[in-house]
């Protein structure tokens, strides 16, 4: 791992310029060639910026860069996870916009960190855990859990009882993301609730497969049922 450092403003500007490029995968590779800790510090403010495209690219970059750091210095990577956890703590004095999404992306990219922190990620969806009352934060938590479910579903199979109630949320995005997770986990017990959602016409914007897309909740529910085999 390179110990070379660059001026703080320089690397923040460079990270922003790289993330603005058309080829996201190449951009992230370029970021991984820079001093990793500095890159990570430059990504944090982008997680809660107003530009959604940049926010989600920062989430993707955070996952790749912290996973790279974990392979070289696992303790330094743990420090980053703990920083995200602090952002989600009431005592931090703020709202951890983007933090659960970044945590999910990191765990999806690092088996070592996923093994240590997957239960903590799920705890943010639990009413008996580190529950997030804000519906926008709930969207981030569910997205992060779903992202991990895409690559390592066995780690979060036990989250089903805590995710199922979100299928009846008043927030359409929360309902859609909860249905997405049920499909990824193959949760047959959620079939009846998913069938109810196949009548939901609400269209939501979600980040899937590396891009922001508009999807109808009914279509997400139907896809979840297809995955379950219904």
Query: Is 198 in contact with 225 (CB distance < 8 Å)?
Result: yes
Q: What are the residues whose beta carbons fall under 8 Å from the beta carbon of 79, sequence distance 6 or more?
A: none
Paired residues of 207 in beta bridges = 212
Closest CA to 144 of 112, 117, 171, 172: 117
Q: Is the pTM of this model over 0.85?
A: yes
Closest CA to 157 of 129, 186, 200: 186
Query: Is residue 51 scored above 80 in pLDDT?
Result: yes
* Distance (Å, whole) CA 27 – CA 172: 32
pLDDT given for residue 183 in this prediction: 97
Mean pLDDT of the chain: 92
Centre a 10 Å sphere on the Cβ of residue 210 and count the other Cβ atoms it contains.
11
Query: Is residue 164 scored above 50 in pLDDT?
Result: yes
Helix or strand or coil: residue 7?
Answer: coil
Break the chain into its structural domains and give their ranges. 1-87
Query: Is 194 in contact with 225 (CB distance < 8 Å)?
Result: yes
Say which DSSP state 110 is in.
-
* Distance (Å, whole) CA 44 – CA 61: 11
Query: Is residue 68 scored above 60 in pLDDT?
Result: yes
Q: How far is CA 33 from CA 3, 77, 155, 212, 216, in A?
A: 11, 16, 30, 26, 39
Alpha carbon 100 to chain centroid distance? 5
User: For the chain, what is the radius of gyration of the CA atoms?
Assistant: 18
Q: What is the pLDDT of residues 109-150, one digit of tens each?
A: 999 999 999 999 999 999 999 999 999 999 999 999 999 999
- What confidence category does residue 4 fall into, taking pLDDT thresholds of 50, 70 and 90? low
Query: What is the pLDDT averaged over residues 39-52?
Result: 90
Paired residues of 212 in beta bridges = 207
Centre a 10 Å sphere on the Cβ of residue 65 and count the other Cβ atoms it contains.
26
């Amino acid at each position: 791992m390179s110990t070379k450092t660059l001026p703080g403003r320089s690397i923040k500007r460079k990270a922003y310029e790289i993330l603005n490029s058309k080829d996201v995968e190449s951009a992230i590779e370029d970021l991984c060639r820079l001093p990793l800790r500095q890159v990570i510090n430059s990504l944090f403010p982008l997680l809660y910026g107003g530009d959604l495209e940049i926010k989600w690219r920062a989430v993707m970059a955070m996952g790749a860069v912290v996973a790279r750091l974990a392979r070289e210095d696992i303790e330094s990577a743990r420090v980053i996870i703990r920083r995200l956890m602090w952002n989600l703590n009431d005592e931090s004095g703020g709202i951890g916009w983007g933090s659960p999404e970044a945590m999910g992306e990191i765990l999806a990219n690092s088996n070592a960190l996923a093994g240590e922190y997957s239960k903590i990620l799920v705890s943010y969806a639990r009413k008996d855990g580190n529950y997030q009352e804000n519906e926008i934060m709930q969207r981030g938590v569910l997205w992060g859990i779903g992202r991990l479910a895409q690559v390592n579903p066995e780690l979060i199979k036990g989250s089903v009882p805590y995710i199922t109630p979100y299928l009846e949320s008043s927030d359409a995005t929360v309902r859609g993301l909860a249905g997405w997770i049920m499909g990824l986990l193959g949760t047959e017990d959620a079939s009846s609730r998913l069938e109810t959602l196949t009548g939901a016409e609400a269209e939501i914007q979600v980040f899937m497969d590396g891009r922001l897309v508009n999807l109808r909740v009914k279509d997400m529910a139907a896809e979840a049922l297809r995955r379950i085999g219904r």
